[in-house]
Chains A and B, each alone.
Chain A
Amino acid sequence: MAEWKMLTLVGEDRSGIVARLTDALFRGGWNLGEASMIRLGGNFTIMMMISGSGDVQPVVEPVAQEMGLHLHIDEISGGLHQHLVPNVQVRVTGADRAGIVAQVTGVLAESGFNILELESDVAGSASKPVYIMNIQGYADTTLEAIEAALNELGDIDVSVSSIETLIG
């Protein structure tokens, strides 16, 4: 059974980061698993599962140095093929103010809602920012129960909908 590590790399975005990193891993005999990479605020962020044997630090460190990335390596339990398919989607949008995420996710946590993916962004302009958040997760409770709980929040615009994953 493969043992997995989680690589985390963050640094100022520039072209070639992914190519350099994955080339080094490939040459070092490391396999890639699930990964998430995205540009956030001008930084490029990478979270990547890798498996292989030996010490990966000497393989990745030169690339991190060269590309100006912070590197973090964790041993992790778990592995591939452990997907949970989301069944509820929550969208939040509105004027940016402190506490939106904490309040919404607090209510979701109390409802037994497990967040599988969360993306948020600030749209609009510097003088008139608009906060947009999109959450997909899994809950055994009904949509109505989640709606009712979010209803207590008052001024935040939230929409809850079911995700019916089509298998065909």
Chain B
Amino acid sequence: MAVLEILTIPDERLKRVSQPVEVFDDELRAFIDDLEETRLDGPAAVGIAAPQVGREQRILIMDVSNTRKPVPNHGYLVLINPEITHWDGYEMGREGCLSVPDYTGNVIRATHIKVKAQDPHGQPLEYEMEGYEARALQHEMDHLDGMLFIDRVVSRRTDLFRRKVYQKGGKG
């Protein structure tokens, strides 16, 4: 196990498109252990993608089970060669990134998605995700395509005035 070096902007490698994983061996699984150790080492990151440590393969880790307010989630996930097969809805949320230190911004993401992927042994996986977990997946999958959240930041003036989490007055 080892903590890997995280690439930060303006590193050109963060803009490259990662390649699919074809070999599911012990070396891959050892790398995933290192990637997870790296995720846990820094600020509280809910996800990390292989290209963030310079390995240009379609591998990501995410875990949104530890938010301040609990959100629907599938716990700790390792997703290899993930593909979103369906998405629906959109909302704005605030994001930051291990590869973009000291900056956060608002990004519009789909609220409901279905994703197919493989596990570290190459077995098929399928999940439906919503809200924060769906956001995390989209953020990490962007890394696999050489995209960062700063490529998608919108002004808060673009706010969508979505559903009200808490309403007083009016609806009583």
Footprint of B on A, CB under 8 Å? 38, 81, 83, 85-87, 91, 93-94, 117, 119, 132, 134, 136, 143, 147, 150-151, 153-168
Contacts and interface: CB of A to CB of B under 8 A. Distances in A.
B136 A168 contact: yes
Contacts, number: 96
Contacts of A91: 161, 164
B50 interface: no
A63 B70 CA distance: 52
A90 to B, nearest CB: 10
Nearest to A166: B95
A87 to B, nearest CB: 8
Given A167-B43, A167-B46, A168-B45, A86 B94 contact: yes
B95 A159 contact: no
Nearest to B163: A159
B169 A157 contact: yes
B129 interface: no
28 contacts: A38-B157, A81-B102, A83-B103, A85-B94, A86-B94, A91-B164, A136-B156, A143-B69, A147-B168, A154-B169, A155-B169, A156-B168, A157-B169, A158-B167, A158-B169, A163-B93, A164-B68, A164-B94, A166-B47, A166-B135, A166-B136, A166-B139, A167-B46, A167-B95, A167-B98, A168-B46, A168-B48, A168-B95
Contact of B67 (A83, A143, A164): A164
B44 interface: yes
B170 A157 contact: yes
Contact of A151 (B67, B71, B168): B168
B38 to A, nearest CB: 13
B132 A119 contact: no
A159 B167 CA distance: 5
Contacts of B97: 167-168
B159 A134 contact: yes
Interface in B151-165: 156-157, 159, 161, 164-165
Contacts of A154: 169
A119 B43 CA distance: 29
B96 interface: yes
Contacts of A38: 157
Nearest to A163: B94
Interface in B87-142: 93-98, 102-104, 132, 135-136, 139-140
B53 interface: no
Contact of B140 (A83, A117, A159, A168): A168
Contacts of A164: 67-69, 71, 93-94, 132
Contacts of A160: 165-166
Given A158-B167, A159-B164, A164-B93, 19 more contacts: A83-B103, A85-B104, A91-B164, A94-B169, A132-B161, A143-B69, A157-B168, A157-B170, A158-B168, A158-B169, A161-B166, A164-B132, A165-B94, A166-B46, A166-B139, A167-B45, A167-B46, A167-B97, A168-B95
